[in-house]
Structure 1
Amino acid sequence: MPAVPGGVYSQQGPSCFDKMKTGFLLGFCVGMASGALFGGFSALRTGLRGRELVNTVGKVMLQGGGSFGTFLAIGSGLRC
């Protein structure tokens, strides 16, 4: 099988910043999902309803997403 020449126009992979950005977005989505589950069950167990429930679950989702996204972005940056 003949080898493909590299040439001047070779394909380049994603940059380190792109990898960190992707890691943050992936971690943010996973953190939001786990925050919705754990925050929702916790808020329902404490008896919150209505607007208090939505505010509390939203806050837990953003906190979980931000922290997990940050850790995954740092991990992706260390692997660059």
Structure 2
Amino acid sequence: MPAVPAGNYYQQGPSCWDKVKLGFMMGFTVGIATGSLFGGFTAIRYGLRGKELVASVGKVMMQSGGTFGTFMAIGAGIRC
């Protein structure tokens, strides 16, 4: 049986910056999904097709992802 080395070994959790980054990425992902649904329905309702549809939905996805990601990052930063 191998010997266990003596000493104090502590497992460290994620830093505050890591938590803020994770909060942003989770919020961005949720915002992208929400933006694709709402942006897609809105663009189709307006009668957009082809390049216009893709450009409009992409813009809404990036905007909602960035907005929700920012709020989630702020919330994660407050909890640190």
Structure 1 and Structure 2 fold alike (TM over 0.5): yes
**Structure 1 partner of 2:33:** 33
Q: Secondary structure at the match of 1:43?
A: helix
Distance 1:49 1:56 in 2: 10
What is the percent sequence identity of the aligned residues?
A: 69
Structure 2 unaligned blocks of 5 or more: 1-6
Is 1:13 aligned to residue 7 of structure 2?
Answer: no
**Structure 2 partner of 1:3:** none
**Structure 2 partner of 1:69:** 69
- Aligned letter for 1:19? K
How big is the shift at 1:76? 0.1
Q: CA RMSD in A?
A: 0.7
Distance 1:63 1:11 in 2: 38
How big is the shift at 1:73? 0.1
How big is the shift at 1:78? 0.0
Q: Secondary structure at the match of 2:75?
A: helix
Structure 1 unaligned blocks of 5 or more: 1-6
Distance 2:73 2:46 in 1: 33
Distance 2:75 2:30 in 1: 15
Distance 2:34 2:46 in 1: 18
TM-score, normalised by the number of residues in structure 1: 0.90
How big is the shift at 1:9? 1.4
TM-score, normalised by the number of residues in structure 2: 0.90
Distance 2:28 2:43 in 1: 21
Is 1:55 aligned to residue 55 of structure 2?
Answer: yes
Name segments (4+ residues, structure 1) moved above 3 Å: none
